[in-house]
Structure formats: C-alpha cells, structure tokens
C-alpha cells in the first residue's frame, strides 16, 4: 500500500487519464457512499464482438493487499460467448486470483461472494438489463 517506484528526488509532475472506454464500469461496495474505504471495488472493461468475449480487463480493490487484476477470471472469459453461463463458469476461478482478508469492513467470504456477484451485475448492466440494487441504511 502506498508504494511507488520513485527514486529519491523524483516526483510526479503530472497525470494523464485517458477517456473512459465505453464498456468500462466500476462498482464500489462500502458502508458509506462518500469518503469511505471500500470493502470491495470492482472495475470491468470487457470487449464483446459478435457475441464472443475478445478482451477482458478486470481489477479489484479490497481483495488483496493492493489493487490487483483478476487474470484467471479474464482468461476464463476470453473466447467464451457473452452469456450468463460463461460468467457463472468464470466465477469459479475467483479464488485462484484472490485470497482476501477478513477485517472490519468485510469478511473474506463476503468479499469473494461480492466480487463474483459484481461480475454478474456488470453483465446485466452492459447487456441493458435493469439492475436492482438495494441500498441499505444503517
């Protein structure tokens, strides 16, 4: 956390952020919406051509010591049909990518289940299906 590859005397002079890809979606799960560290943060950018997944970039925060790509999940999706069944299969490899910790924000089991479910939420969101998110006020 907070590690950088800068040498003494070096500094960041600027940051360039490219325009968002049309299929990019990020979902934050936290107890409070604003100014709260997320229990799980999932970002997805999947390219689908002619009904087939041709590229997948998936990353999570809150699932490891630092934000990390879900490379096994990405590999499981590439070349598969853009269908709920393909995503259900890809859900089974999340544990290959992550061994989350339990802390005051969420248990390890919750984090894995939430990450798997965010993949399905992304599918519905990208497919134009309504996504029903229940907001819980504590």
pLDDT tens, residue by residue, 39-97: 899 999 999 999 999 999 999 998 888 899 999 999 999 999 999 999 999 999 999 99
Q: What is the 3-state secondary structure (H, E, C) of 3-40?
A: CCCCCCCCCCCCCCCCCCCCCCEEEEECCCCCCCCCCE
- pLDDT at residue 134, as a whole number: 67
What the block records as the tokens of 125 is 């969101």
Q: Supply the pTM of this predicted model.
A: 0.82
pLDDT of residue 96: 93
CATH of residue 75: 3.30.390.50
Kindly indicate the confidence band of residue 131, based on its pLDDT and cuts at 50, 70 and 90. confident
Lateral strand order in the sheet of 40-49: 25-29, 40-49, 52-61, 68-69
**72 in any annotated domain:** yes
Residue 103 located in a structural domain:
yes
Is 4 inside any structural domain?
A: no
In this prediction, residue 38 has a pLDDT band, given cuts at 50, 70 and 90, of confident
Contact 79, 55 (CB under 8 A): no
Question: What's phi and psi for 75, nearest 5 deg?
Answer: -60, -40
> Is 67 inside any structural domain?
yes
Higher pLDDT, 138 or 64: 64
User: In the prediction, which pLDDT does 1 show?
Assistant: 57
CA distances from 129 to 41, 120, 121 (A): 21, 11, 9
84-91 vs 108-126: helix crossing angle, rounded to 10: 160
Enclosing domain of residue 119: 25-31+38-126
Average pLDDT, the chain: 89
Higher pLDDT, 136 or 111: 111
* Position 131 in a domain: no
pLDDT attached to residue 136: 58
Total domains present in the chain? 1
E strand intervals along the chain: 25-29, 40-49, 52-61, 68-69
Calculate mean pLDDT across residues 13-29. Answer: 89
């Amino acid at each position: 956390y907070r590690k950088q590859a800068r040498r003494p005397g070096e500094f960041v002079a600027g940051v360039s952020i490219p325009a968002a890809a049309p299929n990019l979606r990020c979902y934050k799960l936290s107890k409070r919406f604003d100014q709260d560290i997320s229990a799980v943060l999932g970002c997805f950018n999947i390219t689908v051509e002619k009904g087939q997944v041709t590229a997948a970039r998936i990353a999570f925060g809150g699932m490891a010591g630092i934000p990390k790509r879900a490379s096994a999940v990405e590999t499981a999706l590439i070349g598969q049909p853009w269908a709920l069944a393909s995503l259900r299969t890809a859900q089974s490899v999340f544990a290959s990518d992550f061994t989350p910790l339990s802390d005051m924000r969420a248990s390890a089991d919750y984090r894995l289940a939430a990450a798997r479910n965010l993949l399905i939420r992304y599918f519905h969101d990208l497919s134009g299906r309504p996504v029903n998110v229940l907001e819980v006020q504590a």
